[in-house]
Structure 1
Amino acid sequence: MLPIYLEMKRCAENGIRGVLGTIIRTEGSTYQKEGSKCFWAEDGKLTGLLSGGCVEGDLAEHAREVLNHFSCKTLAYDFRDKGDDLWGLGLGCNGSIDIFLEPFDPVHLRESTERSLEIYQKADNYETSLATIIEAETPSLIGKKWMVKNNSSDPVKSGLHSVTYEKEKVLVFTDTITPTPRLTLFGAGPDAVPLVNGAKQLNWHVSVIDHRPSFVNKQNFPEADQLLCIPKGKWPKLELESRSFVVIMTHHFDQDLLLLEQILETDVPYIGVLGPNKRTYQLMDRLGREFHEECLSRLYSPIGLDIGSQTPEEIALSILAEMVMVHRGKGSGKPLHVMKETSFTKYLHKKVGELAF
């Protein structure tokens, strides 16, 4: 959500109009799922994708209509069977999506623009459930939104809901927006460069910390959000939290020992330690204390998924893939064709059988 928020902020500061698109319903196989967003700016810039780039051109035409009429609009795309041929988009998908378009006009709709910016800014600091009216008998209600407080025992479910708003039955889309993940990287060696670049490609917030000024600088890490040079043996003043992901790759045993001791006391969900198991065992033994299983379950060593990586770039890819899996809270790290070994496998076996004759 951060790139879209930043683009909305840019448009607001420059008086540029735009349209926010959100997928509010999906059925079957689709490129993106409910809650996915894109933002089309009137100067032609597109941030985010709702398809593989196929419907975005059509969305731009509808976006102009939304801006000209200062009103929201819901679009339905059905690509099942011959749906893609009917639309002339040639997606080759086998599903349908509904997309809700809402105007973002810092000149004529200043109040709603400021409200949207406020909501999405807050959403980058803590998890937020957002409710938006997409259907109502009173046209002025469509597009109104508010933040919903999550109850841990009864969390708000994303999707479409019929509710009463100002004594009127309306259709609301609720959407859970998660904050931007934060990568804190201890170690600014050459092998850290592709990891930082890859994390920024994922739009994560990245901090790089090292004791060597000649390493931890903008020349080596131009895309990093934060660069800290801390004397060796010192613990930096940091706030590590539930959305923080930590990677230790200083290549210095005593420094890693200091860092690991401090980080294990935090609530971060991912503590990656570069190096072989034997080295990490030695670090843990040197700490000389017992740790709960829950604490140790957050420790990843060797770091990354097993993809046979050898180069720094490939190693960075395996680390990023593992962190994304932990961040999303799902996934096995196995090949998708193994996870989906059903109809496609039968199809392949059938084709092989046909070729045999």
Structure 2
Amino acid sequence: MIQTVLDDTRPTVLAMIVKVEGSSYRKEGSWMLLQENNVRIGMISGGCLENDLHNRAAQLFNTGKAETVRYDLSAEDDLGWGRGAGCNGIITILMRDIDSDFRRILHIAHVQVLAKEPVYFLQSLTDFSRYGCTALNGSQYGKIQLKLPFNLNTMAPFQEAAKQTTIGEEIVYFQLIWPRPVLYIIGAGADARPLARLSGSAGYEVHLLDWRSGVCNEVHFPTAASIQIGDVAKLISNVKFSPLDSVVLMTHDFQIDVEIGRHLLGQKLLYFGILGSKNRTERIFDGELPSSVHSPAGVSIGADGPEEIAVSIMAELIAVRRGKSL
């Protein structure tokens, strides 16, 4: 979403949820862009608030101003938002016209996430003109310079961290922005296609690696961020993996899986899954399944066929990224 703002300079208003009391469709930290040409990117609710937000955005375009809007959706019989939202929550949304200075802060944040490093976004809710970001190394940018009440280096990968904190007499909203999740799919057989499609739709940056140009190509993987063809062992050795990266090994070639699997075992990854039975994976690692390896890859839902297996793997990827146990 930050990339969209930086690439498209047409008048745009950012809407972000800064507080939720009770339950809601989206949580603190959810962003949505509303553009002057009626384009909407992202969602704040299940569709019940977007029209009202766009009407409010029309009053903010090109003003450099910001405001907060509070929506009470707790009444199940309240038809004020269409059919009665019944979300049982009260949502506070900050709306801000994205001017040149705010774009500058977003650019700094974008540089950090491109380097696969999280960055903290800070916004005063007492004085809307005070906002900025803090990098992993402690460098601070913008009009707000505050000592963070937490250590970025100790945060669990991709865990949500969006909240309000009172510092002195100022209410400050903090949001930890993580880099886009990356998924490497090793093996571009027919069963890799639905996994690449689903993971791309879920926001992953997908990279394909295979030795066969006939199956590993843009025709079968049109949305992949990259397609690498060649000696898979050599290709993998050139990848600089991050602890935020995920890998699914699905070549269906046992000898290749042995070589690649043992190499990946030495990498620090967020998720490492291998397609196939647990017994097969144990053979890859000389009879013992390493604790860091998910095998068989995917949640046990009785999946049958490429599409269902892709769904099960995606469920496990999301659970690991969100820190949920299965």
Kept after mapping to 2: 8 A contact 1:5/1:121: no
Kept after mapping to 2: 8 A contact 1:235/1:259: no
Partners of 1:35 and 1:98 in 2: how far apart? 11
Kept after mapping to 1: 8 A contact 2:228/2:235: no
Unmatched tracts of structure 1, length 5 or more = 333-357
In the alignment, structure 1 residue 144 sits paired with structure 2 residue 127 = no
Amino acid at match of 2:245: S
Deviation sequence 1:311-356 (CA, Å, 0-9, x none): 2111100000001100111243xxxxxxxxxxxxxxxxxxxxxxxx
Amino acid at match of 2:234: K
Name the structure 2 match of 1:350: none
Kept after mapping to 2: 8 A contact 1:280/1:301: yes
Kept after mapping to 2: 8 A contact 1:127/1:176: yes
Kept after mapping to 1: 8 A contact 2:67/2:96: yes
Kept after mapping to 1: 8 A contact 2:207/2:226: yes
1:38 is aligned, of 32, 42, 49, to: 32
Kept after mapping to 2: 8 A contact 1:84/1:93: no
In the alignment, structure 1 residue 245 sits paired with structure 2 residue 249 = no
Partners of 1:8 and 1:251 in 2: how far apart? 41
Larger Rg: 1
Q: What's the TM-score once normalised by structure 2's chain length?
A: 0.87
1:266-285 counterparts in 2 under 5 A? 266-285=267-286
Instruction: Find the residue that maps to 1:208 and give its secondary structure.
Output: strand
Kept after mapping to 2: 8 A contact 1:271/1:298: yes
Q: What's the TM-score once normalised by structure 1's chain length?
A: 0.80
In the alignment, structure 1 residue 302 sits paired with structure 2 residue 296 = yes
Kept after mapping to 2: 8 A contact 1:55/1:89: no
Name the structure 2 match of 1:344: none
Name the structure 1 match of 2:143: none
Partners of 1:121 and 1:46 in 2: how far apart? 24
Deviation sequence 1:118-137 (CA, Å, 0-9, x none): 2234235211221111222x
Give the drift of 1:146: 2.5
Cα root mean square deviation, aligned: 2.3
In the alignment, structure 1 residue 160 sits paired with structure 2 residue 164 = yes
Instruction: Find the residue that maps to 2:191 and give its secondary structure.
Output: helix
Kept after mapping to 1: 8 A contact 2:76/2:84: no
Amino acid at match of 2:112: K
1:1-357 counterparts in 2 under 5 A? 4-12=1-9, 16-67=10-61, 69-81=63-75, 84-86=78-80, 90-104=84-98, 109-124=99-114, 125-136=116-127, 141-142=128-129, 144-147=131-134, 149=138, 151=151, 158-163=162-167, 169-231=169-231, 234-236=234-236, 237-285=238-286, 296-332=290-326
Kept after mapping to 1: 8 A contact 2:186/2:210: yes
Task: Describe the shift of the 1:173–1:284 C-alpha distance in structure 2 as closer, same or farther (beyond 3 A).
Answer: same
Task: Describe the shift of the 1:232–1:8 C-alpha distance in structure 2 as closer, same or farther (beyond 3 A).
Answer: closer
Task: Describe the shift of the 1:254–1:157 C-alpha distance in structure 2 as closer, same or farther (beyond 3 A).
Answer: closer
Please, which moves more after superposition, 153-162 or 300-309?
A: 153-162
Partners of 2:214 and 2:261 in 1: how far apart? 24
Task: Describe the shift of the 1:179–1:268 C-alpha distance in structure 2 as closer, same or farther (beyond 3 A).
Answer: same
Task: Describe the shift of the 1:25–1:83 C-alpha distance in structure 2 as closer, same or farther (beyond 3 A).
Answer: farther
Kept after mapping to 2: 8 A contact 1:84/1:90: yes
Kept after mapping to 1: 8 A contact 2:277/2:296: yes
Partners of 2:83 and 2:278 in 1: how far apart? 51
Deviation sequence 1:270-306 (CA, Å, 0-9, x none): 11111111111111117xxx89xxxx22201111011
Count of matched residue pairs? 307
Instruction: Find the residue that maps to 1:268 and give its secondary structure.
Output: coil
Unmatched tracts of structure 2, length 5 or more = 139-149
Deviation sequence 1:148-177 (CA, Å, 0-9, x none): 64525886963112235xxxx432100111
Instruction: Find the residue that maps to 1:54 and give its secondary structure.
Output: coil
Task: Describe the shift of the 1:279–1:75 C-alpha distance in structure 2 as closer, same or farther (beyond 3 A).
Answer: same
